[in-house]
Structure 1
């Protein structure tokens, strides 16, 4: 019986030593994994810094300025004063080639054509 107890004690001691070695190996493996993870994070951070430095600085586009409103005959002549001054201004502006397609000028030409047609029929 004493022999059995000695053998059990020795087997227990061997089991405890084996478990201790396994825990030590597991701790070492875990430390290596943590070091590898830290190394990878540092590499990734340095790559990001290098990539950020290599990329050109992007300047946001300037905001689009609204186009100035077109100078129509109506806008040009609105501040001419009374009715007669406004009509004289409109006639003067409609004689310019740049205002040929303005609605007021088109209407004036149509009225002139109608007046000529009426005069010819008389």
Structure 2
């Protein structure tokens, strides 16, 4: 693989990972703005099992909970399986819009980082 191409891929991977770090930091901040009414109405049984409530209340998984509620606010049909299709009505419009944008960006950045990592792994194997 030409050195020039590797350099451009390295720049691309740096900016993709930097964007992912910034996005995850912003999602951590969104934890503070999660609508309390939405959280209190739907983060309980029968929507979540007792085990899920315990797991998603612990430290690293609280951020997954935020992402789940952001997805629910942005795409109401995603809560159909648990019966939470009306949950988005408890979130303000700004939260719904920010949720759509942030999760859309996440769905582009994360696979891009994984694919680029695979390209680097293949290039390393072929270079030997």
Q: TM-score, normalised by structure 2?
A: 0.28
Computing the radius of gyration from Cα coordinates, the structure with the larger value is 1
**Between structures 1 and 2, the one with greater helix share:** 2
Higher relative contact order (CA 8 A, sep 6+): 2
* Structure 1 length-normalised TM: 0.29
